Structure 1
Amino acid sequence: MPQDDFAPEAAPASAADSPGRPSRRSLLGGAALLGLMPGAAAAQGSKPDSAPAGPQPEARPQPEARPLPAEAAKVRLRPEPAPETQVWCLDGKGVPPALRVKLGETVRLKVENRTERPLSLHWHGVRNQNPMDGVGGVTQPPIQPGASFTYVFTPPDAGTFLIRPLVVGGSSEPSGRGIAGFLVVEEKAPPAVERDLPLLMQDWRLQDDASLLPFGQTLFAASNGRLGNMIAINGRPVPEVIAERPGSRLRLRLGNACNARATRIRFDGVKVYVAAVDGQPTDTFEPLRATLPFPPGTRYDLLLDMPGEAGAKGSVTALVGGGLVLANLVAEGEPVTEKPPPIAPIGDNKLLPAEVKLQNAVRRDITITGGATLDKEKPDAEPVFKGDPARIWAVNGANGMAGVAPLFSVKRGQVVVLAIKNDTAFPQALHLHGHAFRLLHPLDDGWEPYWLDTFQLLEGRTARIAFLADNPGRWLLSSTVLERFDTGLWTSFEVT
């Protein structure tokens, strides 16, 4: 994936809150539950300064926003003689961009919609200013074909974040046509590695002639979503080949931008350490059984050392069918001369609280219903749905639609605990906007030792999440399976 670095002007970082670092624990156990005018607002978590008295200096002109066109392109997803596939892309390239900034820098991007559908871009995982969250129909008007919108924000956290299209009633098509990318916010003192490599997983639903299957199938939206029949990494058919010197240290940024595909990722031939989950740093740990859950919207930062012998190989495999290799790691060339230091945590995010105090938390119950039904006596039978194709899913009995009032409102600084019940026949991948949360233990108010913004909730299960509502605005709790989002699987809350 090309790394489209850009260096906007520096902006002050947010004020720090309580420090804290999660303790080492197994990731697998908890996660398996599983028009507005843009302006340079302060980063989330910071407080506006009072206006000084006396004459004010003349405001400096703001740097011009970098254009980020969304437009049609052709890419080769099947070998010749099959034709190329008509897709949509960002930045005039047929592969997803990886936009990079340093922590404290301001993102200024003018999204030009050259497609034939309304569009907006959600900066998935960024604890953003609310007008910049990129939910068309909620936080901004959708960008109409031929129009543009300028996103201006200063990410408060370093980390790995996704760029996903998110428009009420119209997200699946731009995603399924290829609109996706990474936003990488680099630490001020990143760990020393030989290479820092983004690996973005997408899948495509192709017909025999390599064209995309038409969009809008009700049964997809009511069941498992639009599962592709061809998986790509960084916009290219798998496997990606990563060749590095024996003994060199790598940082892999792994993200799932699929419309619907949830899988598990296994690592073979190399020992990997998780350094961040959903963009937030954690104590480094080895994944249990060398596998990680990987629903849409999830990101991992991984540290690993290449094998020490030339010719040795490792792989990153998605547990799809009998296993699909996403990337091959090959040790090539002269070995590194100096052994890297022991792998260690990449740092703390001091903007997140050391603990989430639950004693006086605002507690709300959330129940997800709807979708197709399954015949338990006929496991091979197709799911059945006979309802309104535009209102397939509901949260607390209400379909997510533009104009629907928030489910609840809280004052800024309150702790919120949501008990989320999946009363459907399918696992649900869910994303909390504007905040990071802790996944609570099933039987008490202990929590898993990492921050999340996305998780998967199995059918028939209930999970509780806790977060500090410190970011003003109207925020979504939404499905990351975009066909479900388009047909009602989201709700919102307000922080005042």
Structure 2
Amino acid sequence: MPNTRSLVPNDPVSASRRALLGGVAALALLPRGARAQGTKAPPAPAAVPGAPAAAGSARALTAAPGTLRLKPEPAAPTPVWSFDGRATPPVVRIRLGEMARLKVENRTDKPLSLHWHGVRNQNPMDGVGGVTQAPIAPGADFTYAFVPPDAGTFLIRPLVVGGSSEPSGRGLAGALVVEEATPPAVDQDLTLLMQDWRLDDATTLLPFGQPVFAGSSGRLGSLVTLNGVPVPAPITARPGSRLRLRLGNVCNARATRIRFDGVKVYVLAVDGQPTDTFEPLRATLPFPPGTRYDLMLDMPTEAGAKGAITALIGNGIALATLAATDEAAAPPRPPIAKIGDNPLLPAEVKLQNAVRRDITITGGARVDKDKPAAEPVYTGDPSRVWSVNGAPGTAGMAPLFSVKRGHVVVLAIRNETAFPQSLHLHGHVFRLLHPLDDGWEPYWLDTFQLLEGRTARIAFKADNPGRWLISATVLERFDTGLWTLFEVT
């Protein structure tokens, strides 16, 4: 039977916020082995505003009300929003160099726009309603057409200034998979999207817009699904077969760690960008909203062998079970190896003449340090809960800073709130720097989590013209001011 147990007791609104994740930025996946190299960087890609669309009609992606069975009968189905009337979030697959062309039809009663989370996109196609485009009004449509410069696994998330949490919390999410020109040989290539749903005692979604959620840990759900199915979702495979798992977190707010039980997994890519293949430390990975991992594993060769992918929520909740069938084992394959490098990304980020800016995040609910188990309290303006450098993000705001195209930018981001902050850099990817500017973590990122009271520094080459956001991936926080923007000219 699907696991429908409540997650509410683990809601940091009613429990210690320190139960979430550990570490300065919660993304120290490897020992600090990477250092700046002396090789010359290849040229970065140029965005092409207004690039012509490919011939042929766009694929329709219709957002509309529907229902989803989140609890077994006799419980009623839950009213949700979905794409194309399907319970499973859509996975749009294209090959590297092909155009993604989708006509988004909004049949909901709220404005909508779709952010292509992680794509180093053309600015007009980034999908931030109120910044890069006008939101798609109810009954209207908008066609997104762009050629992703990178292969990888990316997310489709609603992102409208002041109105992102509800379409996401009602179920609108998906993935964009850009296949490599020569993908690694696998027996199954599976995209797995984790969502959670905040339900009442029956099967109805609880109301949206509560300031206490926006001011604390966001809208944490009470039931988890994987690809629209209550967990654990079953995955079966021939013994010895090789699986590629594209794991993405499209929850409104749920940050967790994931653990791999009974199988040995290797990380191929983080946030869509390839990395040197490695085994996760203690078989676990941090998993804040917006994060993606490309993983590869070989099933055990014994028939009937089992494994699991577990979210470390409470005592642990299995997201998926892995089971080897009774078939004969697959022939041995070569050892799992890296999928290559992205030649469009620089081999190094030269920090000597970088443009440096400080970013400070403030606001949110108050936490009584003498009563750590007490619920956070927020009494301020419910539409301006958070601030970045003293100002909440608002449509029409001026850029926090402007930089000439091609310059390296180093941002020192300070979290002066009482809660971990999951943050996303639009249009670019970055390196997470070591404290003394003597190197960086050996993977590219576009999303990371910064714990309360900490400072992290990130470096990136500003090679994509336009106005780009630095935004919370907890969507109630985004809706209430936790974002800012910068300009690349």
- Matched letter for residue 45 of structure 1: P
Q: Cα–Cα, structure 1 residues 60 and 343, in superposed 2: closer, same or farther, change >3 Å?
A: closer
Q: 1:225 and 2:204 equivalent?
A: no
Per-residue CA deviations over 1:413-436 (Å, capped at 9, x if unaligned) read 000000000000000000000000
Give the secondary structure class of the aligned counterpart of 1:27. Answer: coil
- The 8 Å contact of residues 108 and 153 in structure 1, kept in 2 or not, is answered as yes
Q: 1:355 and 2:348 equivalent?
A: yes
Q: 1:329 and 2:322 equivalent?
A: yes
* Other-structure match for 2:266: 273
Paired with 1:61 and 1:450, the residues of 2 have a C-alpha distance of 32
Paired with 1:136 and 1:340, the residues of 2 have a C-alpha distance of 46
- Matched letter for residue 46 of structure 2: S
Paired with 2:209 and 2:47, the residues of 1 have a C-alpha distance of 44
* Other-structure match for 1:111: 104
- The 8 Å contact of residues 28 and 292 in structure 1, kept in 2 or not, is answered as no
* Other-structure match for 1:373: 366
Shift of 1:284: 0.3
Paired with 1:260 and 1:192, the residues of 2 have a C-alpha distance of 34
Per-residue CA deviations over 1:59-81 (Å, capped at 9, x if unaligned) read 99832111110011111001111
- The 8 Å contact of residues 73 and 88 in structure 1, kept in 2 or not, is answered as yes
Q: 1:254 and 2:247 equivalent?
A: yes
* Other-structure match for 1:35: none
Can you give the 5+ residue segments of structure 1 that lack an aligned partner in the other structure?
1-24, 31-43, 50-58
1:333-412 alignment runs, 5 A limit: 333-412=326-405
Shift of 1:29: 6.1
Q: Cα–Cα, structure 1 residues 355 and 146, in superposed 2: closer, same or farther, change >3 Å?
A: same
* Other-structure match for 1:20: none
* Other-structure match for 1:462: 455
Shift of 1:336: 3.4
Shift of 1:93: 1.1
Within the candidate set 208, 214, 225, 1:215 is matched to: 208
TM-score for the superposition, normalised by structure 2: 0.90
Shift of 1:138: 0.1
Shift of 1:26: 6.4
1:11-30 alignment runs, 5 A limit: 27=29
Q: Cα–Cα, structure 1 residues 105 and 429, in superposed 2: closer, same or farther, change >3 Å?
A: same
* Other-structure match for 1:263: 256
- The 8 Å contact of residues 47 and 122 in structure 2, kept in 1 or not, is answered as no
- Matched letter for residue 202 of structure 2: D
Paired with 2:31 and 2:224, the residues of 1 have a C-alpha distance of 27
Give the secondary structure class of the aligned counterpart of 2:166. Answer: helix
Shift of 1:335: 3.0
Shift of 1:94: 1.9
Q: Cα–Cα, structure 1 residues 29 and 396, in superposed 2: closer, same or farther, change >3 Å?
A: farther
1:116-131 alignment runs, 5 A limit: 116-131=109-124
Q: 1:305 and 2:298 equivalent?
A: yes
* Other-structure match for 2:198: 205
Q: Cα–Cα, structure 1 residues 61 and 259, in superposed 2: closer, same or farther, change >3 Å?
A: closer
Paired with 2:53 and 2:352, the residues of 1 have a C-alpha distance of 46
Paired with 1:199 and 1:340, the residues of 2 have a C-alpha distance of 24
Q: 1:142 and 2:135 equivalent?
A: yes
- The 8 Å contact of residues 474 and 495 in structure 1, kept in 2 or not, is answered as yes
Is 479-488 or 444-453 further displaced after alignment?
Answer: 444-453
Indicate the percent of aligned positions where both proteins have the same amino acid.
75
Paired with 1:29 and 1:427, the residues of 2 have a C-alpha distance of 22
Is 83-92 or 118-127 further displaced after alignment?
Answer: 83-92
Give the secondary structure class of the aligned counterpart of 2:477. Answer: helix
Paired with 1:420 and 1:160, the residues of 2 have a C-alpha distance of 26
- The 8 Å contact of residues 309 and 318 in structure 2, kept in 1 or not, is answered as yes
- The 8 Å contact of residues 183 and 339 in structure 2, kept in 1 or not, is answered as yes
Per-residue CA deviations over 1:165-193 (Å, capped at 9, x if unaligned) read 00000000000000000100000100000
Paired with 2:464 and 2:346, the residues of 1 have a C-alpha distance of 13
- The 8 Å contact of residues 47 and 464 in structure 2, kept in 1 or not, is answered as no
- The 8 Å contact of residues 419 and 465 in structure 1, kept in 2 or not, is answered as yes
Q: Cα–Cα, structure 1 residues 337 and 170, in superposed 2: closer, same or farther, change >3 Å?
A: closer
Paired with 2:118 and 2:347, the residues of 1 have a C-alpha distance of 19
* Other-structure match for 2:4: none
Paired with 1:197 and 1:48, the residues of 2 have a C-alpha distance of 31
RMSD: 1.6
- The 8 Å contact of residues 244 and 333 in structure 1, kept in 2 or not, is answered as no
Per-residue CA deviations over 1:67-122 (Å, capped at 9, x if unaligned) read 11001111100111110000001122122011100000001100000000000000
Shift of 1:334: 1.9
Within the candidate set 413, 425, 428, 1:420 is matched to: 413
Paired with 1:479 and 1:295, the residues of 2 have a C-alpha distance of 11
- The 8 Å contact of residues 355 and 410 in structure 2, kept in 1 or not, is answered as yes
Per-residue CA deviations over 1:393-442 (Å, capped at 9, x if unaligned) read 00000100101111000000000000000000000000000000000012
Runs of 4 or more, structure 1, over 6 Å off, are: none
Paired with 2:327 and 2:334, the residues of 1 have a C-alpha distance of 19
* Other-structure match for 1:196: 189
* Other-structure match for 2:147: 154
* Other-structure match for 2:45: 45
* Other-structure match for 1:17: none
Shift of 1:337: 4.0
* Other-structure match for 1:480: 473
* Other-structure match for 2:424: 431
Within the candidate set 54, 59, 65, 1:66 is matched to: 59
- The 8 Å contact of residues 424 and 471 in structure 2, kept in 1 or not, is answered as yes
Paired with 1:132 and 1:106, the residues of 2 have a C-alpha distance of 12
- The 8 Å contact of residues 54 and 99 in structure 2, kept in 1 or not, is answered as no
Shift of 1:209: 2.0
Per-residue CA deviations over 1:449-494 (Å, capped at 9, x if unaligned) read 0000000000000000000000000000000000000000000000
Q: Cα–Cα, structure 1 residues 60 and 123, in superposed 2: closer, same or farther, change >3 Å?
A: closer
Paired with 1:337 and 1:178, the residues of 2 have a C-alpha distance of 37
Instruction: State the number of aligned residues.
Output: 450
Paired with 1:379 and 1:275, the residues of 2 have a C-alpha distance of 39
Within the candidate set 428, 445, 457, 1:452 is matched to: 445
TM-score for the superposition, normalised by structure 1: 0.89
Paired with 2:276 and 2:266, the residues of 1 have a C-alpha distance of 9
Q: 1:85 and 2:78 equivalent?
A: yes
Within the candidate set 63, 87, 92, 1:99 is matched to: 92
Q: Cα–Cα, structure 1 residues 388 and 305, in superposed 2: closer, same or farther, change >3 Å?
A: same
- The 8 Å contact of residues 26 and 288 in structure 1, kept in 2 or not, is answered as no
Q: Cα–Cα, structure 1 residues 305 and 439, in superposed 2: closer, same or farther, change >3 Å?
A: same
- Matched letter for residue 321 of structure 1: G
Q: Cα–Cα, structure 1 residues 474 and 375, in superposed 2: closer, same or farther, change >3 Å?
A: same
